[in-house]
């Protein structure tokens, strides 16, 4: 029996590069809302902006096919980082480099209009996500089938249940395999059966080389699904590396009692 | 597809390129705005035509005695009213979309100008629908129609450019000072009366006309009336003047807005 060492070519190919990224928000010490007030204070030299650094000099690389976790307390800068990968925010300094298209699952059902039908909303939502009319036409039937809404597709979605809306949103956002999928916290998409279907799709895409970015403060979930983890604390990269190393250290900093029991695993960890 | 935050092209040009890439979204936003507005009403889209007609009838009844000497006063009022309503609705919608669309902009990348362009598109569709009752009124009161009406698409083009420019400027300022969005409604009311819509322009004293000439909307309204009221062909001077005003406003608005698009997220 011979063991082939070179079964697959597992070249390491970076898809996301975060290089010395900092992001500064200007938070006015006092809210100045009117122009008059602004003008008066400007003259008096009393405009003081408090600087708030949501991220400070963060660097790491995510490689193709990885399930990459970002862990940290609330306000550590996790969501800010995701928004930069999703192009929503640009860094104040440093560089964000992303290869491939990004599907943010934080936007499931973005811009759905209650008075429009399911059909109309598929097109509206799809174009909001950056697809063209033609692309959506091509995958329309598949979206409807996956969301299991064949009988309701021409009814206004104000008549849908929240589960049905979530199903439709997920179906539109993930119909074609993105290169990078961004998942923020829990994936709440309808009932258990449908949720299983969503995970199956995600795992399928992962097997085809999709990179996943998962943000959570649930360390157990990270441990189950992630290959690599970045730990953010107050906007700084505290630790970066293999899942067990990072999570073990992270857990030590959490006071006992605040840890939540883990839910079901997100998706199974795949071996490279 | 590679995205690199450090390779920042000119933001104004980048915004144009991206808005073009999202042109299908613009079409769907226009569709959404038009179909959902009257979705639950019986007459539906007919209201787009009935609304200005109703206001015109009221204005005619109220002001006929004052300005009755103006020939075909109802056509005079309606043509001015439609033009100003376009400007009012477009600029207000742009401010509203950009300031209150925040939630969407926080979650996914969308070129923000698409929402502004869609507001203009919606207004153009509404204006063209509202031209139907205007023509009907003209036929009913036998106000003359001439071939010179055909120039109106040029005027709508100018009007759209000016409205988009003003909307972008005010929306960008309102980012920093929310009061401006509120103040703008008052400014619009003043602007309405500073534009010859309900009172006759031609019989105004020269000094007042001179004063009104500093208001771009005066020129745009009068241009529109070339088609629908005066039956004039536009002069080259008029066309160049308004083209200049509109394009300068639009360019200033676009540059200002695209230099600040990041701020629409950070607040």
Q: Is B108 on the interface with A (CB under 8 A)?
A: yes
Task: Chain A: give the shortest CA distance to residue B265, in Å.
Answer: 7
Query: Chain A interface, mutation test: which of B45, B108, B174, B265, most A Cβ atoms within 10 Å?
Result: B108
What is the end-to-end Cα distance of chain B in Å, rounded? 29
Q: Is residue A144 part of a domain?
A: yes
Interface pTM (ipTM) of the complex? 0.86
Q: What is the pTM of this model?
A: 0.85
Cβ pair B17, A109 in contact under 8 A: no
For chain A, how many structural domains are there in total?
2
Say if residue A145's pLDDT is above 90: yes
Q: Quick one: angle between helices B113-140 and B23-37, nearest 10?
A: 50
Give the separation between CA A217 and CA A223, rounded to whole angstroms: 11
Minimum-distance CB partner of B177 among A34, A113, A116:
A34
Q: Is residue A48 within 8 Å of residue A71, measured between CB atoms?
A: no
Mean pLDDT of chain A: 82
Q: Which of these, B79, B232, B219, lies nearest to B147 by C-alpha position?
A: B232
Q: Do B108 and A123 touch (CB under 8 A)?
A: no
Which domain range does residue A142 map to? 106-176
Residue-level pLDDT at A9: 46
Classified as helix, coil or strand, B132 is: helix
| Interface touch A110/B107, C-beta < 8 Å | yes
> What is the rounded distance in angstroms from the CA atom of residue A13 to the CA atom of residue A15?
6
- Same domain? For A228 and A261 the reply is yes
Say if residue A197 is in the same domain as residue A268.
yes
DSSP category for residue A153: T
Closest-approach residue (CA) in chain A for B30: A124
**Nearest Cα to B152, choosing from B122, B131, B123, B126?**
B131
Q: Rounded distance, CA A114 to CA A164, Å?
A: 12
- A contacts of B121 (beta carbons < 8 Å): none
* Chain A nearest CA to B261, separation (Å): 10
Residues A198 and A85 placed together within one structural domain of the fold: yes
One domain, residues A193 and A215: yes
User: Which positions in chain B touch A120 (Cβ < 8 Å)?
Assistant: 31-32, 35
Cα–Cα dist A51/A239, whole Å:
24
Same domain, A54 and A120: no
CATH of residue A213's domain is 3.40.50.300
pLDDT tens per residue, range B181-214:
889 999 999 999 999 998 999 889 999 999 999 9
CB-based burial label for B256 (10 Å; 0-12, 13-18, 19+): middle
- Which of B25, B44, B122 best tests the A interface by mutation, with the highest count of A CBs <10 A? B25
Candidate from B108, B177, B266 with C-beta closest to A35: B177
Gyration radius from chain B CA atoms:
20
CA distance B97 to B257: 13
Question: Burial of A174 by CB count in 10 Å (0-12 exposed, 13-18 middle, 19+ buried)?
Answer: buried
Q: How far is CA B123 from the centre of its chain?
A: 7
Give the closest of A25, A100, A127 to B25, CB-based: A127
Which segment, A39-53, A74-88, B219-233, is predicted with the most confidence on average?
Answer: B219-233
In the numeric block, the tokens 């079901």 are attached to A264
Of A26, A33, A106, the CB nearest to B177: A33
Task: Tell me whether residue A74 is in a domain.
Answer: yes
Any idea what the CATH number is for the domain that residue A117 is in? Answer: 1.10.8
Whether chain A has a CB inside 8 Å of the CB on B69: the answer is: no
Task: Please check whether residues A113 and A85 belong to one and the same domain.
Answer: no
Q: Give which of A84, A111, A114 to mutate to test B binding, by max B Cβ within 10 Å.
A: A111
A100-119 pLDDT tens trace: 989 888 767 778 899 999 99
- The position carrying tokens 């919608």 is B93
CB contact under 8 A, B4 and A97: yes
**Is B20 in the A-facing interface, judged by CB distances under 8 Å?**
no
pLDDT in tens, A168-199: 998 998 998 999 999 876 566 667 888 888 88
- What is the distance between the alpha carbons of residues A158 and A148, in angstroms, rounded to a whole number? 17
Cβ-based burial of B76 (10 A; exposed 0-12, middle 13-18, buried ≥19): buried
pLDDT in tens, B125-163: 999 999 998 999 899 888 888 898 899 999 999 999 999
> Lowest-confidence range among A45-59, A74-88, A237-251?
A45-59
Contacts of A101 in chain B (CB under 8 A): 1
Say yes or no to pLDDT of A262 above 50.
Answer: no
Distances (CA, A) of B216 to A89, B212, B243: 37, 8, 11
In a domain, A1, yes or no: no
What pLDDT does A10 receive? 58
- Domain residue limits, chain B: 22-31+40-266
């Amino acid at each position: 029996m011979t063991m082939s060492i070179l079964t697959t070519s597992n070249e390491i190919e970076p898809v996301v590069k975060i290089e010395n990224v900092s992001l500064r928000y200007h938070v006015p010490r006092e809210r100045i809302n009117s122009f008059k007030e602004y003008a008066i204070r400007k003259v008096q030299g009393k405009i003081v902006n408090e600087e708030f650094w949501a991220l400070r000099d963060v660097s790491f690389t995510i490689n193709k096919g990885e399930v990459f976790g970002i862990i940290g307390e609330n306000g550590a800068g996790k969501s800010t980082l995701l928004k930069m990968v999703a192009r929503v925010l640009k860094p104040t300094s440093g560089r964000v480099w992303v290869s491939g298209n990004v599907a943010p699952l934080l936007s499931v059902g973005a811009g759905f209009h209650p008075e429009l039908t399911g059909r109309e909303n598929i097109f509206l939502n799809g174009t909001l996500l950056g697809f063209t009319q033609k692309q959506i036409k091509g995958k329309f039937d598949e979206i409807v089938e996956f969301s299991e809404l064949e009988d309701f597709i021409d009814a206004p979605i104000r008549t849908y249940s929240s589960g049905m809306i979530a199903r439709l949103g997920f179906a539109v956002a993930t119909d074609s395999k993105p290169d990078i999928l961004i998942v923020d916290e829990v994936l709440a998409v309808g009932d258990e059966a449908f949720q299983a279907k969503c995970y199956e799709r995600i795992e399928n895409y992962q097997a085809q080389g999709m990179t996943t970015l998962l943000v959570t403060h649930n360390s157990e979930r990270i441990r189950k699904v992630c290959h690599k983890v970045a730990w953010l604390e107050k906007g700084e990269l505290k630790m970066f590396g293999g899942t067990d190393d990072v999570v073990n250290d992270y857990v030590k900093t959490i006071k006992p009692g605040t840890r939540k029991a883990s839910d079901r695993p997100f998706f199974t960890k795949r071996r490279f | 597809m590679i995205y690199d935050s450090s390779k920042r092209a000119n933001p104004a040009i980048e915004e144009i390129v991206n808005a073009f890439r999202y042109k299908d979204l613009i079409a769907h936003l226009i569709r959404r705005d038009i179909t959902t507005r009257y979705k639950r009403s019986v007459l539906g889209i007919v209201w787009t035509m009935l609304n200005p007609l109703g206001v015109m009838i009221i204005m005619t009844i109220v002001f006929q005695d004052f300005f009755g000497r103006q020939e075909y006063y109802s056509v005079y009022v309606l043509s001015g009213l439609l033009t100003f309503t376009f400007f009012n609705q477009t600029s207000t919608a742009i401010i509203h979309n950009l300031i209150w669309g925040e939630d969407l902009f926080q979650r996914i990348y969308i070129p923000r100008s698409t929402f502004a362009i869609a507001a203009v598109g919606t207004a153009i569709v509404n204006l063209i629908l509202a031209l139907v009752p205007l023509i009907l009124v003209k036929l009913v009161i036998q106000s003359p129609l001439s071939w010179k009406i055909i120039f109106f698409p040029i005027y709508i083009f100018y009007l759209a450019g000016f409205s988009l420019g003003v909307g972008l400027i005010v929306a960008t300022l309102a980012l920093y000072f929310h009061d401006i969005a509120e103040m703008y409604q008052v400014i619009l009311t003043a602007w309405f009366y500073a534009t010859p819509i309900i009172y006759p322009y031609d019989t105004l004293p020269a000094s007042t006309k001179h004063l009104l000439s500093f208001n771009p909307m005066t020129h745009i309204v009068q241009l529109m009336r070339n088609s629908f009221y005066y039956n004039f062909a536009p002069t080259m001077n008029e066309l160049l003047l308004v083209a200049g005003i509109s394009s300068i406003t639009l360019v200033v608005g676009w540059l200002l807005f695209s230099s600040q698009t990041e701020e629409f997220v950070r607040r």
